Structure 1
Amino acid sequence: MKTLEEFDAFLDQQLNNELQAMEQKRITGRNWMRRMWIASLLPFAVFIFFIIRFSTTPAAGGNQALMIAGMVLLFTLGGYAVRYFMMKQKGITAATDYQHDFKTRIVKPVIGFIDPSFIYQPINYASYEEFTESGLFAKKDYHITGNDQVYGKRGDLNFQCCDLTVTHMPSVTVRGQGPDTVFRGSYFIGQFPRYFHTPVYILSRSSTIGTLFSSSPADNGFIETWSLGKKVLPSDAAFNKQFMVYSPDVNEATQLLTPALMEQIIRLQERSAAKLFISFYNNRIYAGIGHGTDYFETTLNKSLEDRQMLRDYYLDFMSLLQLAEDLRGNMSIWTTHAFSRS
């Protein structure tokens, strides 16, 4: 697999001009949006001024009502005139097409650099079934949205990776309460031609002040740990400190969790600074990085001079792909028979 240094060189040598052009387009679009807001507020400010002015001026009731009606009409017409004028100004194209152009001119070449055979699907994402069939999350009435799916194949491994947001509205809510966030981040599915002997589930522990005082998917019943099997304690103390492992078969789970695999998972969590949700179920690995970021949904207020977002995506994507590929060499964990969840 290509290194981070090779990726940085690609950005500098192949995408630098495109990034600079997109940055200029972003600035143009941002400036147009600011002028649009100012121009839209001007008729309103004039309207408020005259309302206050005439409300303090003695006048016959009928004349004052007529003046207010006239000002409302002038304000409405003025608003339409300002909008028409601004729609003709330079910058509207940059403001409206920026997101689409970013994905076409930047994201698509980035995926092509990783592997030209990979397919980038900007509006696709994992389905409800692909989220719940991991056996990790309870089947509830989730609302699922996402985008930026990458589909590909490495040897006999088929995979898909996307940005995914999963929410759930509680049956009983207080006023103003929104839905619970079940998962938000990068979601990966790798499919193998053979099957795991037993399901194995890995969950990050809550180890920071922020997570200690916030409800996790397990706390809210989205992950029913009691149904995942027995608690597994691998021999790696550092791994046990950061993760909880469940499986119906402790011995099989221990064979799957090799020292190299546990080290990879630890590095992934430490680098991403996010909770991990991993399921080895039937012939698939499901892995979610709950970093809360929708990587390629850029805004006009976010500069492209900082390329950390592209680097973070690259590292997440390559780590998940490497995690799946490394499993193929551990022959003791595979069987030709599928299992079903009891």
Structure 2
Amino acid sequence: MLHAIIMAGGSGTRLWPESRRDFPKQLMTFAGTRSFLQGTVDRLLPAVRPENIGIVTGKRLRDAVAGQVPELPEDSIIVEPCARNTSGCIALAALWCLKRDPDAVMVILPSDHLIQPVDAFQKTILRAAQLVERAPEKLVTLGIPPTYPAESFGYVERGAELEAGSGTDCELRAFEVLRFREKPDRQTAQEYIASGSFFWNAGIFVWKAETLLENLRRYAPGVSGPVETMRAVLHSAAFEETLEREFPKLESISIDYAVMEKAAQDGNVAILPVPFEWDDVGSWRSLERHFPQDESGNTLASPPEMPKPVLVKTTDCTIRNTDAGKTVACCGVKDLAVIVTPDVVLVFDRNCEESVREVTQKLKEMNCEELL
């Protein structure tokens, strides 16, 4: 049976100061009335039954996450004792799935992506599930056809087409994965796009839960060892105690490094290019793709109920204000981002947005925990 696992434990520091430790990006709403997390749950239904949707998060966010998804059962919230990167998150989720169904198929997806249309997304994950039912040794990753030479996404290179399955969904073609590539520079990204063989790595995967654990045993013993100890008591009252003791022992490593890159070298990873629009709103600059620009190229990203900004001789700026008591006014500036919350005003050069993480680090050093 198909299970869906939503990874919702991140802190979203690149979207500080709106994204905070106690209310990170996945719980935020940028457009409409549903948060990123709620939108992710919405697009899974009804392709995945509510009782088969699990959300992995940390202890700090457990109550906030549960409060956003009252339509899911209480035991849908899977709590990590501590952060151990995506391999730890996914391994714990695999145990959750296997406890319910020893033959479970998992779709793993981040909690903070934007995807349209929903029916195309559902069709794709069902096709991927069909593929792993037919070839249970395969690990499937969804590939996003690149629309511009992005330097902030990883890439996946496809090889030969795999044999098509039967049924009406055969237009969704699957390919062998040759290799995973790190985030490239602009010229390399342009070369990837020109080749026609590369896709953005969306971090959305489909596989059998048992196959995932087999691959961890093969490629990532630093993850598999504690996981197997937990699995031995999966159906007993000792599981929670064992989880608290063993989970911190996991090697902290991404699933790409732990499994996917190595499995691809052994020919066990397939990619399914997707027919839907996708975006990871991972930085303030990415708002340009989702909010209107005025005649001077300024991105106006505030909620509609907020005061309108006053812009004089201002070009190519991003303005987002979530404080109804303030009006943003800019004069004679270019290429700035102005982010206003009730307790913080952040202004930075849009071409240096990676520096936002340095700001949060300085705040830690200054013991300004209330701002994080």
- Scaled by the length of structure 2, the TM-score of the pair is 0.24
**Greater radius of gyration (CA):** 1
- Scaled by the length of structure 1, the TM-score of the pair is 0.25
In terms of fraction of residues, the more helix-rich structure is 1
